[in-house]
Amino acid sequence: MSLTLHYHPLASYCWKALIALYENDVPFTPNLVDLGNPAERAALVKLWGVGKFPVLQDDARGEIVPESSIIIEYLDRHPGGRTPLIPADPDKALQARLRDRFYDLYVHLPMQKIVVDRMRPDGRRDPHGVAEARAQLCASYAMIEHQMAGGGWAIGADFTLADCAAAPSLFYGNMAEPFGDDHRHVAAYLERLKARPSVARVLKEAEPYFHMVPKEP
């Protein structure tokens, strides 16, 4: 197989790329990277100087493709599949990219702030920053609640790049700042995502690592 995904099954951004790969049954070789292993970290940095996963390696085309959103766009073109994750219609494609950015920047990042803060030792935590992150998550949930009132996927009837971003963001977001009774449409959307075969497969593969997710102190 010419494609290799350098990733970790617990990492939320890696879930985005995995969902896209599984959505279209794209054959690839998974390479699990332990960033705590100096040799494995060095190998990843050699591929992508930032040293973050996921990174897609395409030996057939001689390409190294980093960043989850870019990986999904790349897979849509090379090799493509039965489920185009970037809509052909330019206006819908713009909406998919906008929602992708929304989930990454306004759900994923504040969620990550809360989770990472739980890993800090006493005296090094950032309660003010965590409070800001919780407020941003609640504001984002309110927007999603309105957007998803009619059901469906992130931009309507078709599963897209935006849904690949939404799945890990909302899954971990609900663990960091639970949706609560005011966000039943958000909760229902997450359940639809979890029932999608590509997402369900990612969740199943991540299960053995869930004990590593830091809990509320």
The per-residue pLDDT for range 19-47, each reduced to its tens digit, is 999 999 999 999 999 999 999 999 999 99
> Could you tell me which residue, 8 or 121, shows the higher pLDDT?
8
pLDDT grade for 198, boundaries at 50, 70 and 90: very high
Tell the CATH topology of 90-203.
Glutathione S-transferase Yfyf (Class Pi); Chain A, domain 2 (1.20.1050)
Return d(Cα 86, Cα 73) in angstroms, integer: 7
Average pLDDT over residues 7-18: 96
> Could you tell me which residue, 120 or 112, shows the higher pLDDT?
112
Provide CATH 1.20.1050.10 ranges for the chain: 90-203
Provide CATH 3.40.30.10 ranges for the chain: 3-77
pLDDT at 123: 79
Return d(Cα 186, Cα 63) in angstroms, integer: 37
pLDDT grade for 103, boundaries at 50, 70 and 90: very high
Instruction: Tell me if residue 120 falls in helix, strand or coil.
Output: coil
Instruction: Tell me if residue 54 falls in helix, strand or coil.
Output: coil
> Could you tell me which residue, 126 or 91, shows the higher pLDDT?
91
pLDDT at 1: 58
pLDDT at 118: 87
Task: Tally Cβ neighbours within 10 Å of residue 151.
Answer: 11
The residue to which tokens 């010419």 are assigned: 2
Nearest to 192 by CA among 159, 144, 155: 159
pLDDT at 217 over 80: no
CATH homologous superfamily for the domain 3-77:
Glutaredoxin (3.40.30.10)
pTM above 0.85, yes or no: yes
pLDDT at 214 over 90: no
- Average confidence score pLDDT of the chain: 94
pLDDT tens-digit map of 72-102? 999 998 876 788 999 999 999 999 999 999 9
Strand ranges, E, within the chain: 3-7, 29-32, 55-58, 63-66
pLDDT at 80: 67
